[in-house]
Amino acid sequence: MRELKIFSGRANENLSQRICEFLHLERSSLHLEDFPDGEIQCKILEDVRGRDVYLIQPTCPPVDHNLMELLIMIDSCKRASANRVTAVIPYFGYARQDRKDEGRVPITAKLVANLITRAGADRVLTMDLHAAQIQGFFDVPVDHLYAAPVLNEYFQKIGLTEDDIVIVSPDEGSIKRALGHVKRLGGRLAIVDKRRSSAEKTKQENLIGGPIDGRVAILFDDMISTAGSICGAAELVRQAGARDIFVAATHGVLCGPAIDRLQASPVSQIVLTDSIPLAAEQQIEKIKVLSVASLLGEAIKRIHHDESISAIFS
């Protein structure tokens, strides 16, 4: 691991430190600061010439600032003659703008992929993209990890039996994800029929599958943003007779009214990962945070040694 260097942006330094602890490495040093006008300055404080460099930076809120910081770090490493630069992006911002769903709108996920590639990234390591096809937006290799093993392990440890649970997909786009959890955890599958009227407003119409009455419902999603969809789905599940409700998601964006909605919802516990750091006001009693540092650390080690990533999940 001697030729490996791991740097962290300011978006999620705690996760970066956990990854380094898993790999038994010291985090490499760089200096980042903001000028009074908001511009970002970056200086690499270690020799990276000919090294395999990993830059850990989720593009979570404030999205544009964290994205720009990532681009500047990539450029700094390339100009310092790093052999290979891998952008480790646990949460990929702008992923929901992945297609033209109406006229005269951008495909911003593709734009961001172009920016990261043109900045000089040789490889991208990310987790639970909102749309899997975003991997194809990059002109460099993309390793796409899933937090499902970490989430599944948690629910297996709390002692729920197959006959006692129902895995709920909060919308039709998450059915494949829900089926994967059914395969690992057992139980039945239910699907919420969600209708979206705008970027912020959704309505949960019907519940398909089950039965749910008297069982423990677990709703899996890739992210919780304003929590409108997941809380609406949880309310529908409660009306169907679930005796307990859990929500699990990889990315806790938790913006706008999310915390208030989750507090008022019938959900007993919300299980998130540390792909995005939670602010102090977001750390409520209902929220349980699991770390994906070992998953990302194992992937970094395997990339560095040119080993299989898919073997992690098999």
Residue 204 predicted with pLDDT over 70 = no
Of these residues, 5, 157, 183, 194, which one is catalytic?
194
Task: Assign 250 a pLDDT band (cuts: 50, 70, 90).
Answer: very high
Closest CA to 169 of 206, 137, 122: 206
| b/e per residue 62-71 (b: at least 16 CB within 10 A) | ebebbbbbbb
Residues 89, 59 contacting (CB under 8 angstroms):
yes
Confidence of residue 1 (pLDDT cuts 50, 70, 90): low
Predicted pLDDT of residue 160: 85
Give yes or no for residue 195 having a pLDDT over 60. yes
Q: Helix 148-157 and helix 175-185: axis angle, to 10°?
A: 40
Average pLDDT taken over every residue of the chain: 94
Residue 199 has pLDDT above 60, yes or no: no
Which fold is adopted by the domain 4-146+293-312?
Rossmann fold (3.40.50)
Beta-carbon contacts of 205 under 8 Å, excluding residues fewer than 6 positions away, are 193, 194, 195
User: Is 148-290 in the same CATH topology as 4-146+293-312?
Assistant: yes
Amino acid identity at 160: L
**Structural domain boundaries of the chain?**
4-146+293-312, 148-290
Residue 192 CB neighbours (<10 A): 25
State the Cα–Cα distance between residues 270 and 253, nearest whole angstrom: 13
To the query of whether residue 183 is one of the catalytic residues in this protein, the response is no
In this predicted structure, the answer to whether residue 201 has a pLDDT above a threshold of 70 is no
Asked if residue 203 has pLDDT above 90, the reply is: no
The torsion angle over the Cα atoms of residues 232, 238, 240 and 243, rounded to 10 degrees, is: 150
Which numeric CATH code is attached to 148-290? 3.40.50.2020
Q: Work out the average pLDDT over 60-79.
A: 98
pLDDT tens, position by position, 100-159: 989 999 999 999 999 999 999 999 999 999 999 999 999 999 999 999 999 999 999 998
> What's the rounded Cα separation, in Å, for the pair 1 and 78?
20
